[in-house]
Chains A and B, each alone.
Chain A
Amino acid sequence: MSHENSGLSRRIILGAMLAAPPFINARAQSKPGMTNELIQAAQKEGVLSYYHNSDIDITNLWTDVFAKRFKIQMKNMRLPSYPLFDRWLNETRVGRHLADVIQITDPTLLSYANKQGYIANYIPEGGAFIPSELREDGIWYGLFTNPMGIGYNSKTVTPDEEKLILTGGWDALADPRWKGRYGTATPASGGSSYAFCYMFLVTLKAKYGKPWFSKLAANKPDIYASKAPLFERLAAGEYALMDQGSAGSLSEYYLKGAPIRWAFPSPTPISITSQSICKNAAHPAAARLFQEWCTTAEAQAEWLKHSIENATRPEVVNPRKAAKSDWYKDSWFREPTKLYADYLKDEAFADPKKPVIAEWNEIFKGLATKKS
């Protein structure tokens, strides 16, 4: 089996696939949708092993709905994106197919795995309702998006500082007043962190690039190897603010009563929770049924009962937004005005060597990363 890049660009592959859906359809599956045949076959298998990188308890609540509806036992395993992907890759390479479905926040790795022959081509019926930039048909489907902004602790910033965060755009992060009061995560920690850093170092290089990150580094932030613990420390008041603040995580702390607020400077990068079916899944029918269910409006709305990430199906409305409850009623809250997801179309982003990590490390040299 060849594991080299075939030489085709990701854009060409994507384009070719979009242009020829019937071919993939005919090759990969007989009939999309949650058909009786599929449900029966899945129920016969009885179990689904789900590798994911979302919140443990929210994922359990969400998958329990699927489990109850279809009478299929869920076995969920959570790890951070990159270790999870790597564990799965190693298992797959030695022929241990423990996972049926894998979910991570860096869909380009799923594309890479597909090139290696480890992803099952399957087009769920609901896939067509997901915007084309948030899916690679038959390979991976974005289920939820999570905008990333500046998170801050309202108890540890002054009104002036809050004004700066809310109106100062991304340049607010470079202000020297945050020296020693600021936390960040390495782009090596996961797909969302990488996408965030990629936007500034590659896509918006002319406006921000290295000089902007150098100003951030001059503030001597504490650098986390995994972004998740940073939210808890921000809520506790250890830091005044953080970048890469995923709305999903910040709002969880808001709902727990923590003095957490956030701003979405423009453009606002989003991370995409994306999901694929494993090629040699031990429970292929259950995996396909789950992918079908996950891409329905019903499943995405179910997720939003527990989390505030945005559904990728445009018709699924966040119930808090509809009711103007929680932060939607607060005067400080502003919706993001321009989302940034262009990185998925960028070949350089898909480079499995992830060159932005080295560039970022060089800028933040001396501020070693060694945190859980």
Chain B
Amino acid sequence: MSRSILSWVLIPFLTILVLVPVGFMFLGAFMSGALADPDAHLTLEKVANVYTTLPYLETLGSTILTALMVAGSASICGIGMAWLISRTDIPARSTLETFIIAPLFLSPFVGAVAWLVLGSPKAGLLNVLVRGIFDVKGTFINVATPTGIVLIMALYYLPYAYLTVSAALRNMDPAMEEAAYLNGSGVIGTALRVTLPVVRPALISAFFFIFVLACGTFSIPAVLDRASQLKFLAVDVFQASATYPIDYGTSAAIGTLLFWISVVGIAAYQFSSRVARRFVTVTARGYRIRLVPLRMLRWPLVGVVVVYVFLSIVLPYLALIWSVFARSGGDIFNPTWTVSNFDKVITSREVVGASINTIEVGLITPTVCIILGLIIAFSVRRLKIPGARAIDYITMFSVAVPGIVFGTGVFWTYVMTPVYGTIGVMILAFLASYLPFAYRIGDTALLQIDRSLEEASSLCGAGYGKTLMRITFPLARPALLSAWIMVFIFSIREISAAVLLSTADNVVLSVLSFNYLDYGDVPKAAVVGLLQTAILAIGVIAGRFVFRVKLSNQM
């Protein structure tokens, strides 16, 4: 296939996959009603209203502030844990690392449901426990406050910061730290004056990545914000398209506002990623990292990690199990148990169908995503096909579009095609959303492969396709498998776009869980959440032990 043909295939394909849905979002913002409404007309009213009036500007400020606080807390804790695991003699490092990234397997939405059960001001299990044990009155923990919401979001975004920073730490030549120690610098001095500056670009990149994710998150504030204290754009996008009178124009206009914030965040992320790559010192010579002895702090610091694991994993799962098996409105000190919720849900055809759909989406999306990501990376990086720069931009574009906004655009893109109403539309939406991850990891993997190997293949008469399959793909395999697992996790958990695209034939577990919760059925939502986690765990364990994929090596 000639290089220009590849361009002619990739550019239109990516345009339909990524740009057309975003275009529909912008068009929707300038319409008075739904795009299909024959009475709808072009207007600036919605955009003007959203961009210039106080309620929306207040929400914009609140969203930015919240996302900054989430990104800040997750990044600070993430770098601390990354340093502990990568640079100290903390015990059981491998096990602790697995636990630190374990929240990735719990959908933030399901996590929020669990925390609602745990930390509601009056009926929250933790409050009831404290009141009962200590015979006191009052509220001791309240997740339905802005602080509570920020902390819960930070809990679930911390693994991203950890993975990014720990990868940078692993790639960093410890000789620089050794030099600092030899020159008399202490542990803290070395960490602050050598380690931190070297990993700072990675940290900044993690910060902005989490900032963008947090801006687009609607499930956690939507579930927890019981007292309406936190104004959040992503929730407004959803509410405008879910409560009467349904206002697609305003929903899309808020979506565009969210888009611009994300664009700024992504620009900062990409800039720091580039700088991070420039700074990271990957060398060919072997080295052994000198681990900082923690001495008497070893076990207290293990305790800190254990507290995090307890809050992000153990307590939420206990709450989910409680919701599933305890009778509604039961007393935590004298519970009565039932298996009826579990029995009803696990045998319902809705759940069986949604599980099959989820597995299909979870297998097809990452597979297509990785293949496409590698083809694009190979075309842009190695073949330098015409329009390579445009392809690079289009591929990365969807990172700036939150799922809740992108879902509406995908709806209008495909509603008139046969793919709408099938799992195909879910796969296309997820493919567009997660292609940037696959592309970026593929691109990084290509950077690490010596070009001469591919040139040798070409000299031996192999075409581009054969070289890609026989040389590049096998060498990039570990990175691509990691990317596969990452996209697999995202695809199984995705809820924002999925809610807007689901029909009778393509319901996935995340949507079913959302529907159960929407109907107020927390126990059934919890069963589905547990099922979702089981699928994620099987996928990740299979990746780890069958394909020897370690997520923490490739971020």
Closest to A4 in B: B39
B243 touches A3 (CB 8 A): no
Within B190-244, the residues touching A (CB, 8 Å) are: 221-223, 225-228, 230-232, 235-236, 239, 241-244
A228 touches B519 (CB 8 A): yes
Expressed in whole angstroms, the Cα–Cα distance for A339 and B226 within the complex equals 32
In the assembled complex, A188 has its CB within 8 A of some CB on chain B: yes
4 new A-B contacts at CB < 8 Å, known A95-B416, A229-B517, A236-B329: A153-B329, A225-B242, A231-B520, A258-B329
Within B499-525, the residues touching A (CB, 8 Å) are: 502-505, 507, 512, 515-522, 524
Q: Which one of B231, B241, B349 contacts A368 once the chains associate, using CB atoms below 8 Å?
A: B231
With A82-B243, A86-B34, A354-B244 already in contact, the answer to whether A368 and B228 are too (CB < 8 A) is: yes
In the assembled complex, A226 has its CB within 8 A of some CB on chain B: yes
Q: Which residues of B contact A190 (CB under 8 A)?
A: 244
Expressed in whole angstroms, the Cα–Cα distance for A153 and B330 within the complex equals 12
A75 touches B505 (CB 8 A): yes
B239 touches A222 (CB 8 A): no
In the assembled complex, B415 has its CB within 8 A of some CB on chain A: yes
Q: Which residues of B contact A155 (CB under 8 A)?
A: 329
Closest to A98 in B: B421
| 7 interchain pairs, CB-CB under 8 A | A76-B350, A82-B243, A83-B246, A94-B36, A98-B504, A188-B244, A253-B329
Interface residues in A, total, Cβ within 8 A: 65
A98 to chain B, nearest CB (A): 6
B329 touches A57 (CB 8 A): no
In the assembled complex, A223 has its CB within 8 A of some CB on chain B: yes
Q: Which one of B36, B228, B349 contacts A60 once the chains associate, using CB atoms below 8 Å?
A: B349
In the assembled complex, B344 has its CB within 8 A of some CB on chain A: yes
In the assembled complex, B37 has its CB within 8 A of some CB on chain A: yes
Expressed in whole angstroms, the Cα–Cα distance for A86 and B38 within the complex equals 14
A76 to chain B, nearest CB (A): 6
In the assembled complex, B327 has its CB within 8 A of some CB on chain A: yes
Residues of B within 8 A of A (CB): 34-39, 117, 120-123, 221-223, 225-228, 230-232, 235-236, 239, 241-246, 327-330, 336, 344-345, 348-350, 411, 415-416, 420-421, 502-505, 507, 512, 515-522, 524
With A226-B518, A238-B123, A257-B336 already in contact, the answer to whether A371 and B349 are too (CB < 8 A) is: no
Expressed in whole angstroms, the Cα–Cα distance for A369 and B507 within the complex equals 27
B245 touches A357 (CB 8 A): yes
A78 touches B244 (CB 8 A): no
Of B226, B227, B522, chain A has the most CB atoms within 10 Å of the CB of B226
Expressed in whole angstroms, the Cα–Cα distance for A79 and B416 within the complex equals 21
Q: Which residues of B contact A258 (CB under 8 A)?
A: 327-329
In the assembled complex, A192 has its CB within 8 A of some CB on chain B: no
B518 touches A228 (CB 8 A): yes
Q: Which residues of A contact B344 (CB under 8 A)?
A: 57
Q: Which one of A50, A232, A357 contacts B521 once the chains associate, using CB atoms below 8 Å?
A: A232
Expressed in whole angstroms, the Cα–Cα distance for A235 and B327 within the complex equals 11
A363 to chain B, nearest CB (A): 15
In the assembled complex, A372 has its CB within 8 A of some CB on chain B: yes
B420 touches A96 (CB 8 A): yes
